[in-house]
Chain A
Amino acid sequence: MTAYILRRVLQMVPLLLGITVILFAVIQAAPGGPEGALLESGRFIDPSVVEAYRARLGVDQPVPVQYVRWIGAALRGDLGVSFSTTRPVTEMIIERLPATLELMGSAFVLAAILAFLIGTLSAVRQYSWFDHLSTSASFLGIAMPVFWFGLILQLVFGVWLGWLPVAGTGSLSGGGLLNHLQYLVLPSIVLSLRYVAGWSRYLRGSLLGALRADYIRTARAKGLSEGAVVGVHGLRNALIPVVSIMALNLAGLFGGAVITETIFAWPGIGRMFVQAMFARDYPLLMGILLLGSVMVVVFNLVADIVYAALDPRIRYE
């Protein structure tokens, strides 16, 4: 197992290198450059000033040269300096990372709990009114755009009912933990929605399949209670594929955080990413995208490891 993990980690290196090439090319291919921010002000700026600005940032060089410079520094752990703030990219990411991880974590836990309850109940009571309701709600949850759902929640709970803050984040030092958690509620719900919908569907299908298996009949023939039959024999099998999908989706959660953080003015990486995009802040964009890529690759490995840990029939050499 250790050898397997080591080999997978080594395989990540060329994979991530390839990803950075593509990311770098795509970012550079987008029209406009970091000087756009200067030009958008509407005032006349001498072309030589723009040129000098581009030369100072290094974007006057051919793209391959820029890439080699960037990757050379990145391999030494230096992700460069942000164009817009002139602060080190690593520092900016680390500063924002906790807020994003907090949102991802709470959305993940919320989604896992709700999906487990809804999926199990839908499978055990197949074709009941609850099953039909959760089926419809799931399709709605998967189909509904995140930004729209976020706006609706803000309107209902923030503006009309006034129960929860519309956006932002309470400072831990000022308002205390409870105050801070109030700000976390709506973004977590919005971010978790599509995962609640997806995972509960997976679990329902997986559990329905497991409950039809011969070993369930064996368990019943032993005189076990329905709780033990479903909870021990059914769920232990049904959760294997679902937990693997959950691990894979962790990376998707990072992507979902971008939109959610923007709607709720959550001070995480997602919002910073959107700002970096508008500013054509190449080093910051590359830094954030690299982080996202690492997450995708790492969570893929985690999913495989979890799968082997849960299913005794699977062993990696």
Chain B
Amino acid sequence: MSGRTGRTEDAARASEPEVVAGADGAGGSRTVEPVLSVRNLTTRFHTRSGTVHAVNGISYELRAGETLALVGESGSGKSVSALSVMGLVPPPGTIEHGQVLLNGRDLLQASERERRDVRGREVAMVFQDPMTSLNPVLTVGRQLAEPLRRHLGMGAREARAASAALMKRVGIPNPADRLSDHPHQFSGGQRQRIMIAMALACRPSVLIADEPTTALDVTIQAQIVALVRELQDEMGMAILWITHDLALVAGFADRVAVMYGGTIVEEAGVGELYADPRHPYTRGLLASLPRLDDPRARLTSIEGRPPDLKAPPTSCPFASRCDWAVDRCEKEVPPLMDVPSVSGRSGPGQHRSACWRWDDLGGAVDAAFPGRAEAGEFA
């Protein structure tokens, strides 16, 4: 862990001029200030059959060079919260309130025009399915050049050269020749590499990766993760990595935020989260991972169903499925509370849990995680 932290800090320092160049206004205390600070973000979908409370007041911070994994099951609100940061929530979704501070500026207060200038330049996004996320009828050269021409004002020739360099950097062979190829002429892994090149074209300070490896073969997944980590070392951007795969993030995230029912239920450094989970849902997730060391062990699952998001939260969203639930869990929504961390450090952003009974829960999960060593090596 300590080795990794050192790496990230070096990367952050190395990228310092980049980050400052990307931002306007704001003072010199950039190194300690988070590049992305999301506060009390609430996104709802007003559908005909009622309002869906997709994201219910989540807050997190992201510093330069840092990787925060946002983990949760389908419908937990992780993708919607990412799209909210981008300002790309599809109708009928609306951001009800909250702040999205990117390099100190609140994107939710910015005009659509200002947000367009930020998108792809200061904050970029890689999506889940590389097969459908590239436009099938435009050449990849054209699509790669778009952010360069749009944000950096490059001419056609300059953008073409830069696009070829980007393709080369993400590991596409013969990049100059392949600029005039269309997406279907590339493999799934190559397409995701191109998506990453496109997202990082303008060297954004924040990269949001929305399950970028889910649609890929396992061997390709590892390559993509390795590529993103390399690029993070080079460019020093902060990464918000959205996934449902706890094992995947174990190897490379700095911190993990677990989402459930539109809220963050627990957040901690990656090692701490596995060693000392303080929310029953996190514990359930860890317990449900298949074990490699004991082939006879049965897979455990979390009983019950995810909460109905049509009603505004009035209780702990996990209460109905929770073995630990007490009366208070049904009556009061637990806020994210600071938990003393194993490392002895405490304070905001160290270890937080939204469980009234976090104090009763300490210690590693019984049906231990498949071995963090393997996950670490894999990534």
Contacts and interface: CB of A to CB of B under 8 A. Distances in A.
A215 B151 contact: no
Contact of B135 (A219, A221, A223, A310): A219
Interface stretch (B28-36, B115-123, B330-338): B115-123
Nearest to B128: A214
Nearest to A310: B137
B150 A218 contact: no
Interface string B109-151: 0000000111111001101010011111110000000110011
Measured as residues with beta carbon below 8 angstroms from the partner, the interface class of chain A is 20 to 34
Interface in A207-221: 213-215, 217-221
B116 A237 contact: no
Contacts of A228: 146
A313 B124 CA distance: 28
Contacts of B150: 222-224
A311 B199 CA distance: 25
B198 interface: yes
A220 B127 contact: no
B184 A312 contact: yes
A312 B127 contact: no
B127 A240 contact: no
A233 interface: yes
Contacts, number: 75
Contacts of A173: none
A221 B138 contact: no
A237 B138 CA distance: 9
B309 interface: no
Given A221-B124, A224-B116, A215 B136 contact: yes
B88 interface: yes
Nearest to B199: A221
A225 B114 CA distance: 11
Contact of A218 (B116, B117, B195): B195
Interface in B137-185: 137-138, 146-147, 150-151, 182, 184
A220 B138 contact: no
Contacts of B116: 223-225
B12 interface: no
Given A221-B199, A224-B116, 13 more contacts: A217-B127, A218-B127, A219-B146, A220-B88, A221-B88, A221-B120, A224-B146, A236-B137, A310-B137, A311-B137, A312-B136, A312-B182, A313-B182
